[in-house]
Amino acid sequence: MSDVRVTPWQDDSLPAPPPELLAGMKARRPGGELIGIDRVLLKSFPLATGWNGLLGRVRAEFDLALEYRELIMLRVAVLNRADFEWGVHYPAYLQAGGTEEKCEVLKGNAADSGLFNEEELALLTLTDQSTRQVHVDADVIEELKRLFGEAQTVEAVATVAAYNMVSRLLVALAI
How buried is residue 49: exposed, middle or buried, by Cβ count under 10 Å (0-12/13-18/19+)?
A: middle
- With cut-offs at 50, 70 and 90, classify the pLDDT of residue 2: low
Which tens digits make up the pLDDT trace of 124-158? 999 999 999 999 999 999 999 999 999 999 999 99
**Residue 103: closest CA among 75, 131, 122:** 75
User: 57, 24 in Cβ contact below 8 A?
Assistant: no
Which tens digits make up the pLDDT trace of 16-55? 999 999 999 999 998 999 999 999 999 999 999 999 999 9
Q: Which fold has domain 66-172?
A: AhpD-like (1.20.1290)
In 97-123, which positions are buried (b, 16+ CB within 10 angstroms) versus exposed (e)? ebeeebbebbeeebeeeeebeebbbbb
Q: Where are the domains of the chain?
A: 19-60, 66-172
Quick one: pLDDT at residue 168?
97
